[in-house]
Structure formats: C-alpha cells, structure tokens
C-alpha cells in the first residue's frame, strides 16, 4: 500500500504528463531525486484510467506486470491513456480540466485453475478480482472496477471474451489469471 503522499505524487505525475505533452509535444522527464520514496522505483503492474466529470470512460492503458520503475510506468500509461487508447480520440487541452485520473496498482497475476464453469464462477469474487483471459493467442483483462458496470459473473466473462476478440462463450474453456488492485483517484 502506498502512503497518501506517494499516491498524490503519482496522480500529480499522471496529470503533469498529459498537460506537459499537450503544451510542449514532449514526454515529461522526472528526476528520481524528486520522488517521495524509494517505493516508486519498484516494478509493478499499473493502469491509468481517465474519466470525464460525468463518469464516462475517456481512456485506459496499462500493463499487467511492471515493465519499468513504477513512476516511469505511470508516465507511460498516462500518456497512453490520454493519447493512444484506440477507442478514443486523443485528449485535447481544453478538456483536461474535466478529466479525472485513477491509478490502479496490480498484485502479480496468479493462475486461476478450475474444473468446470460452475467451479470458475464460484472462485471469482466480484468487485475484488481482476481477471485475465487467455485463449488461442488472444488475451484480455478487466480491472476489478469493471464489476461496477458488469456485476453478473457470466456477463462479466462474456464481455471479457468479446474484448479478447473471441466468441461470447469462449470463457467456458479459457485460461484465467486473477489479480487485485490498489486504486486511488483525484
């Protein structure tokens, strides 16, 4: 768990990343000496999610496992969420004040073995578990926050299958991994 100071630093960093790029066309460069703690140098999976003030999704990019130091992944994922989420047009400067930033720090994904669909459904905890589905070279994930909109387990898994580019019932014999998140937002 991050301290409130560390959380605020990362939220400010995400916003600064987007704003700096909008104003200069360049990625922000952060001096490690400005970090509030060495915890931000660790590697951990992260997602940066952007919402409008009305609560609508505006962008979400992340990585399931840490690829770089935590603060660098936040810069990369904030930039990606704002400018490279293929579902949305890039964020523009005039809309930035209406965007809320949420950061999710992921636990390492763990395999979720199951015997049959009933066993799988029984092992999933809505609101707590993020899931990764893998099948036939396709992969997709839903953060635990997605349970707020898709709170039925079968509906959640159906949409996850479709997100992976598979048939709606592909989840019935897919490979799954489970993780949890520490999330915080502006």
Same CATH fold, 110-180 and 4-106? no
Residue 178 has pLDDT above 90, yes or no: yes
Strand order in the sheet with 130-135: 110-111, 175-179, 130-135, 138-142
How would DSSP label each residue in 88-130? SPPP-GGGGGGEEEEEEEEPPPEE---SSHHHHHHH--TTT-E
Ramachandran bin of 165, using left for φ above 0, alpha for ψ from -120 to 50, beta for the remaining angles? left
Does the model's pTM come out above 0.85? yes
Does the 110-180 domain belong in CATH 3.40.50.300?
no
Domain ranges of the chain: 4-106, 110-180
pLDDT one-digit tens code per residue, 45-69: 999 999 999 989 999 999 999 889 9
User: What is the structure's pLDDT at 60?
Assistant: 95
Does the 4-106 domain belong in CATH 3.30.700.20?
yes
pLDDT one-digit tens code per residue, 77-109: 999 999 999 999 999 999 999 999 999 999 999
Residue 1 has pLDDT above 90, yes or no: no
Ramachandran bin of 170, using left for φ above 0, alpha for ψ from -120 to 50, beta for the remaining angles? alpha
C-alpha separations of 146 from 6, 102, 121, 131 in Å: 25, 13, 16, 10
Phi, psi of 4, deg, nearest 5 = -55, -35
User: What is the structure's pLDDT at 8?
Assistant: 97
């Amino acid at each position: 768990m991050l301290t409130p100071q560390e959380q605020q630093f990362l939220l400010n960093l995400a916003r600064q990343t987007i704003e700096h790029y909008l104003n200069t066309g360049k990625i922000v460069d952060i001096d490690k000496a400005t970090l509030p703690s060495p915890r931000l140098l660790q590697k951990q999976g992260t997602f940066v999610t952007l919402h409008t003030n009305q609560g609508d999704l505006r962008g979400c990019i992340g990585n399931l496992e840490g690829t770089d130091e935590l603060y660098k992944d936040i810069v990369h994922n904030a930039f990606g969420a704002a400018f490279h989420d293929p579902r949305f047009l890039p964020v523009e400067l005039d809309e930035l004040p209406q965007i809320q930033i949420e950061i999710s720090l992921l636990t390492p994904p763990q395999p979720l073995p199951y015997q049959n669909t009933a066993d799988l459904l029984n092992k999933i905890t809505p609101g707590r578990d993020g899931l990764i589905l893998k099948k036939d070279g396709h992969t997709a994930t839903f953060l635990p926050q997605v349970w707020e909109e898709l709170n039925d387990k079968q509906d959640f898994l159906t949409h996850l299958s479709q997100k992976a580019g598979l048939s709606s019932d592909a989840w019935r014999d897919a490979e799954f991994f489970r993780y949890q998140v520490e999330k915080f937002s502006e």
